[in-house]
Amino acid sequence: MADITLISGSTLGNAEYVAEHLAEKLDEMGYTSDIRHGPTLDELTAEGTWLIITSTHGAGDLPDNLQPWFDALNKQRPNLSAVKYGAVGIGSREYDTFCGAIEKCDLLLNELGAQRIGETLKINVLEHEIPEDPAEEWLHSWAKLLKEL
Ligand SMILES: Cc1cc2nc3c(=O)[nH]c(=O)nc-3n(C[C@H](O)[C@H](O)[C@H](O)COP(=O)(O)O)c2cc1C
What ligand 1 atom has the least distance to the C-alpha of 60? 8
The full set of domain ranges for the chain reads 4-148
CA-closest residue to ligand 1 atom 29: 57
The 3-class secondary structure across 59-106, one letter per residue, is CCECCCCCHHHHHHHHHHCCCCCCEEEEEEEEECCCCCCCCHHHHHHH
Cα–Cα distance, 95 to 97 (Å, whole number): 5
The confidence score (pLDDT) of residue 78 equals 97
In one-letter notation, the amino acid at residue 27 is D
CA torsion through residues 15, 20, 25, 31, sign: positive
Q: Which residues pair with 37 in a beta bridge?
A: 8
What ligand 1 atom has the least distance to the C-alpha of 63? 27
Neighbours of 125 (CB within 10 A): 15
Question: For the domain with range 4-148, which CATH number is right: 3.30.230.70, 3.40.50.300, 3.40.50.360, 3.40.630.30?
Answer: 3.40.50.360
pLDDT digits (tens, 9 = 90+) for 77-110: 999 999 999 999 999 999 999 999 999 999 999 9
Rounded average pLDDT over 60-85: 98
Q: Model's pTM, two decimal places?
A: 0.98
For ligand 1, whether the C-beta of 59 sits within 6 Å is yes
Say yes or no to pLDDT of 149 above 90.
no
> Which of 92, 104, 128, 132 to mutate to test ligand 1, by most ligand atoms within 8 A of the CB atom?
92
For ligand 1, whether the C-beta of 8 sits within 6 Å is no
**Exposed (0-12), middle (13-18) or buried (19+): which is 56, by Cβ within 10 Å?**
buried
